Structure 1
Amino acid sequence: MRSDILARYAVSAGDLITRFEAITSEHHLSPVSDLLPVKSARIVDIGAGTGRDAAWLTGKGHHVTAVEPVDELRKAGMQLHPEEAISWINDCLPELVTLRRQQPFDLVLLSAVWHHLQNSERQAALRNLKNIAVQGGLLIISLRHGGKEHEGFVFPVSTDETIAMAERESFELLRQRQTGPMQERSRAAGVHWTWLVFRSV
Structure 2
Amino acid sequence: MNDNQLSTAGYGEDLRSTAGYGEAAEQLAVQYESVSFADVHRELLHHYPAPPAAVLDIGAGTGRDAAALAALGHRVVAAEPTPELRAVGERLHAGAGIRWVADELPGLPVLRAEGERYDLVLLTAVWMHLAPAECPPAMDALTALLGPGGRLALTVRHGPVPPGRRMFDLPPEFTIGLAEARGLRLLHRSARPDLHGRDDVHWTDLLFGRA
The answer to whether TM tops 0.5 is yes
Q: Measure how far apart 1:145 and its partner are.
A: 1.8
Does 2:37 align with 1:25? yes
Specify whether residues 149 and 80 from structure 1 end up closer, same or farther in structure 2 by C-alpha distance, changes over 3 A only.
Answer: closer
| Equivalence for 2:88 | 76
**Partners of 1:149 and 1:155 within 8 A in 2:** no
Runs of 4+ in 1 over 3 A off after TM superposition: 1-5, 148-152
Cα separation, 2, equivalents of 1:179 and 1:79: 31
RMSD (Å) for aligned C-alpha atoms: 1.8
Does 2:163 align with 1:153? no
Cα separation, 2, equivalents of 1:19 and 1:152: 16
Tell me the alpha carbon deviations over residues 35-78 of structure 1, each in whole angstroms, 9 at most, x when there is no partner: 11113100000000000110100111101100000101001101
Provide structure 2 residue ranges, at least 5 long, that are not aligned to the other structure. 1-12
| Equivalence for 2:203 | 193
Aligned residues: 198
Q: Measure how far apart 1:2 and its partner are.
A: 7.7
| Equivalence for 1:35 | 47
| Equivalence for 1:49 | 61
Greater fraction of residues in helix: 1
Q: Measure how far apart 1:199 and its partner are.
A: 0.3
| Percent of aligned pairs with the same amino acid | 36
Cα separation, 1, equivalents of 2:29 and 2:79: 16
Cα separation, 2, equivalents of 1:149 and 1:169: 32
1:92-103 maps to which residues of 2 (within 5 A)?
A: 92-102=104-114, 103=116
Q: Which moved more, 1:150-159 or 1:49-58?
A: 150-159
**Partners of 2:122 and 2:154 within 8 A in 1:** yes
**Partners of 2:194 and 2:203 within 8 A in 1:** yes
Instruction: Tell me the SS of whatever aligns to 2:109.
Output: coil
Kindly provide the amino acid, as one letter, of the partner of residue 182 in structure 2.
Answer: E
Cα separation, 1, equivalents of 2:64 and 2:165: 27
Q: Measure how far apart 1:151 and its partner are.
A: 8.5
